[in-house]
């Protein structure tokens, strides 16, 4: 089991790199070069290929082995990073990213989405029932560590390491991971998939599963306020004088460590048989309170005489609020994913994988909508009214819980 978990840890760590790159590193680089909040936020649209995983998941299942798909997609990601190294980001003052860079980032996300399907399929085939708990823990922690390394660790290196060497480093990492996926002894014993007859399922078959409509609406909206605030707050701190390297450390590495701690705590509480919906209600209330504190800090930053120098209480509170919100966000996410899985387990066995993929796609769509439009709202309304909207959106899931069906309790 240790060999399996070690291999999966390395692969899931690499899988987290594109998310950290585009959620942590790229926005701060673009904002530092003078791009508007709207244009920074619209780069979230580059995650679009992740919304179509259901389109190529059957291809990964039927053609070749998950290990081959994983090795090929990971090697392709290395090639895309080499091309990105040859195309630095837009010079200071340019309206947006060059079309060539946008196209390569879309290819990066397409390859990462295929890699995600292949790796999850491989993990399900690789792990025995008794190994699922440790395996999923490794999955979550390694993915978040990879995201932290790309979003915060690489940003901290920028003063001494420019754009091309960063992407060449990422390319080398991907090619090492591709070699691991193909050559690791623990992964070579997987059976070649047998061809199977697949009958297409209609959407009404999925919606007929008890609790599906409520769960779909909940996962589509539960992150709207949190994701909008977390994508904007570091950029607003940058506008108030925080350095890119400082924010890279706090909003990349620090927040990811707290997010991992929150996710782990959520899993521990569920293991201790906390009831699912009451626990979700509690953590949503805590998240709402944390966002209210962050909003108050933002309002105070704009008041006359607010001191934001190094070592001040206000600066420390603002940076600490980043970590607190990610800790609470980790708690909320773990509990919500458990609700999603519980709902999918109510489906017939032949529909469970498709049902869960549908829920996961809607969950991602909700996060992308908020992260993409946050900058547009901030440029149009101003940051303070925008955070007021995020606060209201974070209160909506608490009201939605009152309509939750008893089958999910």
Low-confidence ranges of the chain (pLDDT < 50): 132-133, 193-200
Classify domain 199-409 by CATH number: 1.20.1250.20
Q: What is the pLDDT of residues 231-285, one digit of tens each?
A: 888 888 777 777 766 776 776 667 778 888 887 787 777 767 678 788 889 999 9
What pLDDT score was predicted for residue 289? 92
| Residue-level pLDDT at 196 | 45
Give residue 130's pLDDT: 54
pLDDT in tens, 43-76: 777 777 877 777 776 676 667 677 888 889 899 9
Equal fold, 1-197 vs 199-409:
yes
3-state secondary structure the chain: CHHHHHHHHHHHHHHCHHHHHHHHHHHHHHHHCCCCHHHHHHHHHHHHHHHHHHHHHHHHHHCCCHHHHHHHHHHHHHHHHHHHHCCCCCCCCCCCCCHHHHHHHHHHHHHHHHHHHHHHHHHHHHCCHHHHHHHHHHHHHHHHHHHHHHHHHHHHHCCCCCHHHHHHHHHHHHHHHHHHHHHCHHHCCCCCCCCCCCCCCCHHHHHCCCCHHHHHHHHHHCCHHHHHHHHHHHHHHHHCCCCHHHHHHHHHHHHHHHHHHHHHHHHHHHHCCCCHHHHHHHHHHHHHHHHHHHHHHHHHHCCCCCCCCCCCHHHHHHHHHHHHHHHHHHHHHHHHHHHHHHHHHCCCHHHHHHHHHHHHHHHHHHHHHHHHHHHHHHHHHCHHHHHHHHHHHHHHHHHHHHHCCHHHC
The domain ranges of the chain are: 1-197, 199-409
- Kindly report the CATH number that applies to the domain delimited by 1-197: 1.20.1250.20
Give me the pLDDT at residue 199, please: 46
Return the pLDDT at 360: 77
At 198 the pLDDT is: 46
């Amino acid at each position: 089991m240790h060999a399996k978990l070690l291999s999966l840890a390395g692969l899931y760590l690499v899988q987290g790199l594109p998310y950290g790159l585009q959620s942590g590193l790229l926005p701060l680089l673009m904002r530092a070069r003078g791009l508007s909040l709207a244009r920074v936020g619209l780069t979230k649209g580059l995650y679009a290929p992740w919304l179509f995983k259901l389109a190529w998941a059957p291809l990964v299942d039927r053609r070749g082995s998950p290990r081959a798909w994983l090795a090929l997609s990971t090697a392709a990601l290395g090639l895309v990073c080499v091309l990105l190294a040859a195309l630095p980001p837009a010079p200071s003052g340019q309206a947006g990213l060059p079309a060539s860079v946008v196209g390569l980032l879309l290819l990066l996300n397409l390859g990462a989405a295929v890699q995600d399907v292949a790796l999850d399929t491989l993990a399900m085939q690789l792990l025995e029932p008794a190994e699922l708990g440790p395996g999923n823990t490794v999955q979550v922690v390694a993915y978040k560590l990879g995201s932290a390394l790309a979003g915060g660790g690489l940003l901290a290196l920028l003063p001494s390491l420019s754009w091309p060497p960063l992407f060449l480093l990422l390319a080398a990492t991907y090619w090492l991971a591709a070699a691991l996926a193909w050559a690791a002894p623990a992964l070579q014993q997987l059976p070649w998939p047998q061809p199977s007859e697949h009958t297409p399922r209609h959407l009404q078959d999925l919606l007929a599963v008890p609790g599906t409509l409520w769960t779909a609406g909940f996962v589509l909206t539960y992150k709207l306020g949190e994701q909008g605030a977390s994508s904007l707050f570091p950029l607003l701190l940058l506008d108030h004088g925080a350095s890119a390297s400082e924010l890279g450390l706090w909003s990349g590495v620090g927040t990811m460590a707290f997010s991992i701690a929150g996710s782990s705590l959520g899993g521990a509480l569920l293991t201790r048989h906390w009831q699912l919906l009451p626990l979700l209600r509690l953590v949503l209330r805590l998240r709402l309170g944390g966002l209210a504190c962050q909003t108050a800090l933002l309002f105070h930053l704009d008041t006359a005489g607010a001191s934001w120098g190094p070592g001040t209480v206000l600066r420390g509170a603002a940076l600490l609020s980043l970590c607190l919100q990610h800790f609470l966000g980790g708690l909320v996410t773990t509990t919500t994913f458990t609700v999603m899985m519980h709902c999918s387990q109510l489906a017939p066995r032949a529909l469970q994988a498709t049902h869960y993929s549908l829920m996961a796609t809607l969950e991602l769509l909700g996060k992308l909508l908020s992260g993409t439009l946050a900058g547009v709202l901030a440029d149009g309304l101003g940051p303070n009214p925008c955070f007021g909207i995020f606060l209201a959106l974070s209160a909506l899931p608490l009201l939605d819980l009152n309509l939750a069906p008893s089958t999910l309790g």
